[in-house]
Structure 1
């Protein structure tokens, strides 16, 4: 007997409402099975087809099927291989959860974000800043692209991450100066995928006058990045060994990037950025232990007595405090999803853009104090930028 959710899936495919279905959560991990399968409509020379993109441990395969066969295969995969489907429709987002007996629970909610339209072009352009098929030398050297511009299957996630980051940078370019050299610092740059991407995007593709410094504690990583910058001819991209809190190599910066700086190292980077008067700050926090050790509140005991819940809440509270303090200092702050949460839970990016507002918003400071005191916190960032904040006895302008 055909279930209602099965009828709806078939109807969505037949009417063109289905834009994408992501199947995940394997029923069994025995044998070689794709960890997820993404289904989307594509337009080929032969006409409309549904493409099944199967993600295995070491490869990604594609299979294009006509509508009827595609619908049958989709239902079969949900019956035999997967327990979950996330379906994007033109007007709705739908989650289908299947139990061990094949009984389904369906949850619908209105589609969020921009208006959706079916995208039916096979190998359609993604409107990515770094286009596949157009080789970028740094991506080739870092093993993400072939010399012909094809993205290696194992590096698709990294390729998408780099483009996502550049998209978020592109959105705030108007906040950065154009009439002089643009100074950028990347704290905790690591292997510097994003540092090289920034330099390529701004200096090579846009022709801007920029200087970029990447800082990291690992000498071997810095040696590798320095050699690569030289090989690429990126003459205004430098890499240095050093600690974020101790770095005194410059007096100002227009943009500060910090990715996965552990615990209060993120706060040290934010404090440096604020002290330099950075117009744009892009920060992806990592492990956040400070608030976990400090946080106390009797009302929230049911949450705080559970270690996992406390850890997650402490991380959210830490970033809320960072964002609030930056707003107190006149920044416009957005919390953005950096990468797909299925790849890493550490996917939040704090983007702060200087608004030019010098007066401290009284409501923001009071909001911050109330939140901080409610959780019994003594945030590192507050102490690091204390001279820029109002004193308890001072009125806020």
Structure 2
């Protein structure tokens, strides 16, 4: 780690952008805690009809905003954010990955790492969205699962599944910087089913990015687990293991870095979230399924127009369930986003809860108090709170 003067690092960053060598930048740890500064900003090059631009992706607590700026304006904007808004940045170039750490006085400590980015070719924008997995390039696990032909063409009836897999990998790619570096990553997929996304996750991290990982897929169906185990062996995915088991009873690990749970029914989602929290997972990605628990609990005279109609009550209870989960995860120090997983025209159950730990994880008394007020108003006793009895702060 070396310190450098302000002019030197600013000039270097500007030159990278001018030469088109800035492949990716992640800005984190805001200097101020306010609603105006996003907790994280990601910068990447995009090719547009009128030339090279840089996309600024601002990650707020409940939304993500995008701006596309030409090189000169993008350079000024990036330098301004680095000088005034953030204490840390990781910038990827073809020559090296560079970490910038800023002191309170604005001095930058610079650390150069081996490059991890593969290409300086920017992603196309608007005309054709570049996916993590591209049609036309055969991917072995997609071929084996019947999504692609051996030539790389996606079967017509599997286009929705192909888009879903890519959407999931995009969401994973957005939080790669929040996962630990320099050691093997431990990942668990609860309720993995036929494991389309489990194989996709392994392909992205181990095959494409070359990261050391171990992945466990868990499901109750023995025939499905046998199929997935045989396919993992055929593909040579030697750090991918499939087991028959129940989420709540699984005791095969004492820690995990990432926990995925897709369409776990009702409180099985809460059991998976509780496991993830107990393991200290840095990233949690959960797509809830049917949600019955709070339907029988929720009561409110004020909300009688909603709760007196069965269909409306069902939908409201499902939203309240996920709101509770998000609030409790934020109480525990996670940053939570509710994201649209697939197009709602394909399924109404398309919400994904993405929770990440960025920096130091601390209990939030204010989030807990908001949760208690919400719970009291609706008369709730949610499963996730009960499954983590010693985790919560004491309100005063």
| TM-score normalised to structure 2 length | 0.68
Q: Is the 8 A contact 2:365 2:393 kept in 1?
A: no
The match for 2:202 is 199
Q: Cα distance, 1:299 vs. partner?
A: 0.8
The match for 1:316 is 319
Q: Cα distance, 1:115 vs. partner?
A: 6.2
RMSD of Structure 2 on Structure 1 (CA): 1.8
The match for 1:286 is 289
Cα distance between partner residues in 2 of 1:178 and 1:131: 27
Q: Cα distance, 1:239 vs. partner?
A: 0.2
Rg larger in structure: 1
The match for 1:246 is 249
The match for 1:141 is 144
**3-state SS of paired residue (1:350):** strand
Counterpart pick for 2:132 among 129, 132, 142: 129
Q: Is the 8 A contact 2:334 2:361 kept in 1?
A: no
Unaligned ranges ≥5, structure 2: 1-63, 70-123
| TM-score normalised to structure 1 length | 0.68
Cα distance between partner residues in 1 of 2:267 and 2:344: 23
Q: Is the 8 A contact 1:271 1:381 kept in 2?
A: yes
Counterpart pick for 1:173 among 164, 173, 176: 176
The match for 1:162 is 165
The match for 2:191 is 188
The match for 2:78 is none
Q: Could you list the per-position Cα deviations for residues 157-179 of structure 1 after superposition, in whole angstroms to 9, with x for gaps in the alignment?
A: 00000000000000000011121
Closer, same or farther in 2 for the Cα pair 1:116/1:311, shift >3 Å?
farther
Closer, same or farther in 2 for the Cα pair 1:358/1:116, shift >3 Å?
closer
Q: Cα distance, 1:386 vs. partner?
A: 1.8
The match for 1:89 is none
Q: Could you list the per-position Cα deviations for residues 359-384 of structure 1 after superposition, in whole angstroms to 9, with x for gaps in the alignment?
A: 32221111000001100000000011
The match for 1:10 is none
Q: Is the 8 A contact 2:261 2:287 kept in 1?
A: yes
Q: Cα distance, 1:357 vs. partner?
A: 3.5
The match for 2:332 is 329
Q: Cα distance, 1:260 vs. partner?
A: 0.3
Cα distance between partner residues in 2 of 1:277 and 1:226: 27
Cα distance between partner residues in 2 of 1:377 and 1:204: 45
Q: Could you list the per-position Cα deviations for residues 182-237 of structure 1 after superposition, in whole angstroms to 9, with x for gaps in the alignment?
A: 00000000000000000000000100100000000000100100010010000000
Asked whether 1:270 is paired with 2:273, we answer yes
- More contact order relative to length (CA 8 Å, sep ≥ 6): 2
Q: Is the 8 A contact 1:178 1:208 kept in 2?
A: no
Unaligned ranges ≥5, structure 1: 1-111
Cα distance between partner residues in 1 of 2:271 and 2:329: 13
Q: Is the 8 A contact 1:184 1:212 kept in 2?
A: yes
The match for 1:237 is 240
The match for 1:363 is 366
The match for 2:391 is 388
The match for 2:357 is 354
Q: Cα distance, 1:385 vs. partner?
A: 1.1
